[in-house]
Structure 1
Amino acid sequence: MDVTTSSDTKTSENTPKYNMRPEQAAVTQSSQKSCSPRTIQLLVEKMNNMTLGDTKTSENTPKGNKRPEQAAVTQSIQRSPWSRTIRLPGQKTNDTALSDTNTCENTPKKKESPEDQRETNVWIIGSSYIRRAKGEAKEIFGENFGLNTKVQWFGKRGMRWGGVLPCFYKELSTQSPPDILVIHAGGNDLGLFSAYELSSVIEKELMQLHTEFPSMTIAYSSINERQVWIYGNPGEINKDRETVNASIRKAVDRFDGVIIEHPHIRFFDNSIFLRNGVRFSKKGNELFLTSIRTAIQKSLQSRH
């Protein structure tokens, strides 16, 4: 019996020590005191297997007791260094809206240039048709033709074409040039000059205005029909009128100007004229002004 105890003690001393946890060491010590060497060996092997099993389980088990779908998201985020938003299965986010909001807040607003902020100016220069039309335009369409612009009227009774440029430069001495210049003159020159002479002067001076002020839109209002002409036979004067208008129409195209036609003003329509056969009735003024207003409106749209 003493020999067996001595042998057990030696076996215990020669057995390799393991890096065991406290509970494993306690079991081993207890086993060494109460079990045979064979039993101790079996217990040690069993505990080693348990340790290895625990190690594998801890390596494969997701940290933080996460569900499989959460662990998959975590691994995906770890693999992708560009991921910035964590989206779990079933979770809705408003990333796009937030991104758009941030972009909108951080994007500097486009500053309007002084040209965009400045009010568009329109000058209308002409004979007594323009002088009388000023009040009618306000009554029919409202202030400034009812458009988003500033309209200035420069009409003079009996004005001939020779008075157009002096009127323009006089106003230019006190203010900036207009964005749009409308001219209605030349009818009082018919019969005093040939159609060729008059059209040559008009064409030359319109080109002069364009050269000096290339950003200014020039709108030529065609000479309208009348029932009575002061100088010459009405039939011959009307032919000269058509010749001048056709010539200026071609000239204006060369500098991208505007031609204002008055197709509804016909000399045989008594409702358009007053008794003198020259001045317009209320209906005539409305037709005349509608053509001018339409041309100004189109010019404003083309400038923006």
Structure 2
Amino acid sequence: MQPRQKSHSLEEGGRTSNAKRKFSGKARLPGVKRKCKAVDPDKSQETAPNQGRAGPSTPTDLEDVVSSVAERMIPELNKAIETIISKRLDTSEDSGKVVWIVGSSIIKWAFFYAKNSIDGVNLGLERHNYSLFWQGKGGMNWFDIIPKIKLLLRYESPPEILVIHCGANDIGKIPLLRFRAIMQSTITELNQILPNTTIGWSNMLPRISWRFSSDVKSQNLAAIRLNNFMNRLVSVNGGFFIKYPEITWHAKEMFRSDGVHLSNIGNCVFLFNLQRALQQVGFPEKIY
């Protein structure tokens, strides 16, 4: 007999194709089902919550944690709320003073000069919490004051201070006694419209040239008389007045070539007196 030849089923690695495969786990007899491990529901509830992050195991423990946290946080929250309220109260008490400056072209050109100056449109009064609102209109006459104030009140809150510079364009057009009565009626109406506003009268300036008369001296004397009347009127009603003693009709360097509007020197003097008056109104105990 010939010897049995080797099977050609051997592979190159020495492994046979019909080699037994290895299975993990325990062997079980055919027809026998795998037994499932019983789980105790009570133990699963005890261990399940602890298999992640740590936490309270019962609702009672959760309530205790919440109450303890609240006890620590509520005092801190109360302090924070008190601090916020106190800051808001301090801010409201120290809120800025709004000043309206309403008048003719003198105010308009004074605003442009202040805008280009070192102190700016607030005349350097920001340190005292002043905020100046300029409303100058070329050719403004006395009867434009009340409509102008009512128009501003449609869009703005009433100011703490109202400065009026107007009336010179009406001198020579309205008789002096009648003009005084009209001025008094206007101030009375302003006090009704603005009961909590302090009214300041900015004295009418002299001129080298007047529109309705060639008698310069008589027109300037009329302006002085009207200024004296208004100074007394606003003072009686709790207001103040502003004078410009450096500006006279003899000081030609204070005026432009038209003899009406102020030069750069005149505007500088005008703003200086206005600034000083507003400082004294806000801080009367200080001397500037």
Q: Within 5 A, what are the aligned runs for 1:145-164?
A: 145-148=123-126, 149-164=130-145
Q: Within 5 A, what are the aligned runs for 1:127-166?
A: 127-140=104-117, 141-148=119-126, 149-166=130-147
2:163 corresponds to: 182
Tell me the distance in 2 between the aligned counterparts of 1:161 and 1:252.
16
Match of 1:280 among 254, 262, 273: 262
Whose helix proportion is higher, 1 or 2? 1
Counterpart residue identity of residue 130, structure 1: I
Match of 1:197 among 178, 185, 192: 178
Query: By how many angstroms is 1:214 displaced?
Result: 2.5
Q: Which runs of 5 or more residues in structure 2 are unaligned?
A: 1-78
Q: Within 5 A, what are the aligned runs for 1:66-81?
A: none
How big is each residue's C-alpha offset from its partner over 1:41-79, in whole Å with a ceiling of 9 and x where there is no partner? xxxxxxxxxxxxxxxxxxxxxxxxxxxxxxxxxxxxxxx
SS at match of 1:253: helix
Tell me the distance in 1 between the aligned counterparts of 2:263 and 2:172.
24
Contact residue 196 and residue 244 of structure 1 kept, 8 A:
no
How big is each residue's C-alpha offset from its partner over 1:255-279, in whole Å with a ceiling of 9 and x where there is no partner? 1111111110011112111111111
Query: By how many angstroms is 1:113 displaced?
Result: 5.9
Give me the TM-score of the superposition, normalised by structure 1.
Answer: 0.61
Give me the TM-score of the superposition, normalised by structure 2.
Answer: 0.64
SS at match of 2:116: helix
Tell me the distance in 2 between the aligned counterparts of 1:135 and 1:162.
24
Q: Within 5 A, what are the aligned runs for 1:50-129?
A: 112=89, 115-129=92-106
Tell me the distance in 1 between the aligned counterparts of 2:147 and 2:176.
22
Counterpart residue identity of residue 220, structure 2: N
Contact residue 217 and residue 299 of structure 1 kept, 8 A:
no
1:222 pairs with 2:186: no
SS at match of 1:174: coil
Query: By how many angstroms is 1:117 displaced?
Result: 4.2
Match of 1:244 among 226, 235, 252: 226
SS at match of 1:191: coil
How big is each residue's C-alpha offset from its partner over 1:204-239, in whole Å with a ceiling of 9 and x where there is no partner? 211221233222110010111111111112122112
Tell me the distance in 2 between the aligned counterparts of 1:284 and 1:253.
26
2:27 corresponds to: none
1:261 pairs with 2:243: yes
Tell me the distance in 1 between the aligned counterparts of 2:220 and 2:189.
27
Counterpart residue identity of residue 123, structure 1: W
Query: By how many angstroms is 1:280 displaced?
Result: 0.8
**Number of paired residues?**
198
SS at match of 2:185: helix
Query: By how many angstroms is 1:201 displaced?
Result: 1.1
Q: Which runs of 5 or more residues in structure 1 are unaligned?
A: 1-104
Query: By how many angstroms is 1:301 displaced?
Result: 2.1
Tell me the distance in 1 between the aligned counterparts of 2:217 and 2:184.
24
Query: By how many angstroms is 1:294 displaced?
Result: 1.2
Match of 2:149 among 158, 168, 172: 168
Contact residue 126 and residue 183 of structure 1 kept, 8 A:
yes
Counterpart residue identity of residue 168, structure 1: I
Counterpart residue identity of residue 269, structure 2: L
SS at match of 2:122: helix
Counterpart residue identity of residue 171, structure 2: L
Contact residue 124 and residue 183 of structure 1 kept, 8 A:
yes
Counterpart residue identity of residue 238, structure 2: D
